[in-house]
Structure formats: C-alpha cells, structure tokens
Amino acid sequence: MENKAVRIYGKEDLRLDTFDVPEPGKDEILLKVMSDSVCMSTYKYAEQGEAHKRAPKDLANNPAIVGHETCGIVWKVGPGAGEKYQPGEVVTLLPVAEVDGEVRTSGYFYGNCGGDSQYALVPAEFVATGKVIPFKGDCYYQASLAEPVSCIIAGYKRMYHTNEDNHEHVMGPKAGGSLVIFGACGPMGLEAIEYALQLDNGPQLVVATDVNPERIARADALMQPYVREGRKLVIFNSAEHEDVEGDLLALTDGKGYDDAMVFAPVPALCEQADHVLGYDGCFEFFSGPIDKTLSATINMYDIHYKLTHFMGYSGSLTEDMLDALALSAAGRLHPDVMVTHVGGLESAIDTTLNLPKIPGGKKMVYPQIEMPMTAIDDFAKLGEKDPLFAKLDEACRAHGGIWCPEAEHILLEHFGVETDVNASR
C-alpha cells in the first residue's frame, strides 16, 4: 500500500516521503492514522538527529517516521493480532516498548511506524504488550492528546513526600498542600494546572507562573472555571514582580511550597523552584532539555535540613494513558484547551522545525488532509473568503473558542475523510 509520511534523515532534515508500507506480519497491525499532535520532543529530535538518545543508528540510510501522539483506525491485522483488535477499531498508542533491553519509540525509531504518516505499521512488541489502546470517544484528536496528558499524570504520580514516623514515601502531590508550576501557561502547563485542580486530594493552592501576557490571559480564562470550592488558583506574571521568589513565598504565608514543577529547561526557573520549596518539598523537573550539560545551583543545606528532594520523569505507563482517557471521558480533564492550530500532513515539517517560534499551544496534524497549519484565531478572518473556515470558526466559537469534535467533523468531511470515530471500515 502506498504511504506518505514525514521521516527524519538527520539533524534538521525532515522529508515528506512516498513509499510502500508492508502488509502487517505476525502480531502486527496497520493503522490508518487520523491525527497526531506535534510534541516539543519531536522538535528536539529534529534539532539533534542521530545524537538523540532514541534515534536509530544511521538515520541517513534508515530514516524514521516522526510523531508519537497518535490516533488511528485499525486498517488491517496480521496473523495473531486479530484476537486483540478488529478492523475499524479506533486506537491510540503508548509509544514506548522494550525489545531485548533496548527501548524503541514510535515516532523516533521505526521507518514504518509514526504519527506524521497516512499509515503506520505497528510492531508486534507494541501489540503484545498492550501499548495499542482502544478509544471510545467521539473524535480523533482527543485520543492523540491522551499521550501528552498521560505524561503529565505520570509526572504527578512520581512526586512523593516523607514523614517523621517511618521511611515510607507517600506518592503524589501533598494533599491539601501548595503547588507552584513554573512556565505553566503553555499547552502542557495548562493540563498540569487542570490535573491538579481536579484531584480529589489535590493541592489547596495552585500557583502558575509565566511571563507571556497573552498566554497568561488565556490560561486564566480557561482554568478559573475548573477551580473547586475551597481551592485557589493564582496565575502569576513573573515579569511584573521585582522579587519573584519573595512574592511567591508570600502566597504561602512564608511557609514555602509542598510541590514545585518546572516546565521549561531554564536554570533560573529551576533555582527559583528550589528556593521556594518548603519543608519536605518535592521538585519535579518536567521539561526535557536538549543541552546535556544543563545545570542549576541547588541548595544542599535545604536538602539535608528541610528534606527537599528532586526528581524527573520522561514518558508514561499504560496505566497513565488509561487514566488520561478515563478522565477526559468523564469530563474531569479538557485537553481540547491545548490545541491552537490544525493542519494537514505536509504542514508537519515546517511546524516541527519551527515549533518554538510558533505561538500558541498544540499543533494538531491530520495526515489524511492537505491544509497549511492554521491558527484557530485566524479562522474568522480566513472565513471571510473561505466557507470552510467560516464553518470552523462558528463551531469553535460555540465551544468557547477552542478546538472541538464538531470542528474536527467539519474539517474531515470537507476533505472527504471518515468522520464517525466508531464506524467500522
């Protein structure tokens, strides 16, 4: 079957290739990819090429399809896979598997499996280990967003606290405590805010810092409605404070924060997080840096006497993906707020290579259509001349100005693509 996909050949070398994808072999499945959201990790991969820790050897001769936040329709099943999956079933991928001690990741390692592709041949190691997860929602993009949301959930689950009675670790953010998130108003930070707000035993105070006025205003408008009674969300513009650390501490009456998360690989933010931690405070470094020498000065006195502690985590587990899907289905998480741009497969190259320069949140690629990457905020202006964008603008405005299932249906129908997520092929 002929396939089009964006593949990486080396540093800043992404190409839209046309090639034949093989029939699925034993325990493999072939997906028709419906959506893939562009991750900052893919930009970092493009910046590093073979130097990236997840890249295969000799990318120049063994290019890999990029994109790992994927939703697709099971198109064909190989011998042995039919017991688990049926053609027409909608699934998302947990993109990491292990083979003989080697970690292999969809969107990094495989020449025939990745999200920025019309079709993806899912290897047997993913099928056998349950990394292909059925999705029962009413649109495709929400399944793509389950992967980044699962990473946020995993980060929270890895946080921990200690006590004076024993040496056991109590996992997760401190119940009824205080949480500060640095660099919080980007797409991942927004969902980190919302995840903390919806936790039954979550923090009582959530402070989200940023320096971009537009992102801050959007975050405040989107997140304040999700604040539960008795809890508080403060959106904190660091650029407006001369004493950032002092003013952050004042929000906790000087006690310091029980938990801190950093969503940008900036040493100054890491040091601020360290300085505002309270007793037994946990610092979660979420942002994955490109610079392998990235360092910050950490207060070792506080580690010893205040029991502050540090951790980081990359990726997620199957349980985290299932949690992401369940929380979204229950209406406790709204990953739709992450999306600010949509486009077709050909737009994935420029979008990935220029991702830090493009404002807004998540960029959603629909591999079965051809359309430039377009901001939702531009729909109204474009709609003055193009009926498609007029319809998309109307649908998004009806949902608070964000991407929504109705808009996705309009987009895919316009290009003659199947829009019923639960319909069999």
Residue 425 has pLDDT above 70, yes or no: no
Sketch the domain layout of the chain as residue ranges.
2-134+334-414, 159-312
For residue 376, give both structure tokens: 């939702």
User: What pLDDT, in 10s, does the model give residues 376-396?
Assistant: 999 999 999 999 999 999 999
- Residue 257, burial from CB neighbour count under 10 angstroms (0-12, 13-18, 19+): buried
User: What pLDDT, in 10s, does the model give residues 155-181?
Assistant: 999 999 999 999 999 999 999 999 999
What is 2-134+334-414's CATH number? 3.90.180.10
User: What pLDDT, in 10s, does the model give residues 336-382?
Assistant: 999 999 999 999 999 999 999 999 999 999 999 999 999 999 999 99
Compute the distance between CA of residue 259 and CA of residue 17 in angstroms, rounded to an integer: 45
User: What pLDDT, in 10s, does the model give residues 111-154?
Assistant: 999 999 999 999 999 999 999 999 988 899 999 999 999 999 99
Residue 422 has pLDDT above 90, yes or no: no
Per the listing, tokens 């919080």 go with: 184
pLDDT of residue 388: 98
Residue 263 has pLDDT above 80, yes or no: yes
CA angle (297, 276, 234) in 5-degree steps:
130
**DSSP assignments along 95-157, one per residue:** -EEEETTEEEETTTT-SS--SSBSEEEE-HHHHHTT-EEE--SS-SHHHHHHHHHHHHHHHHH
- Separation of CA 208 from chain center: 18
pLDDT of residue 295: 96
pTM over 0.75: yes
The reply to whether domains 2-134+334-414 and 159-312 share a CATH topology is no
What is 159-312's CATH number? 3.40.50.720
The single-letter DSSP state of residue 39 is P
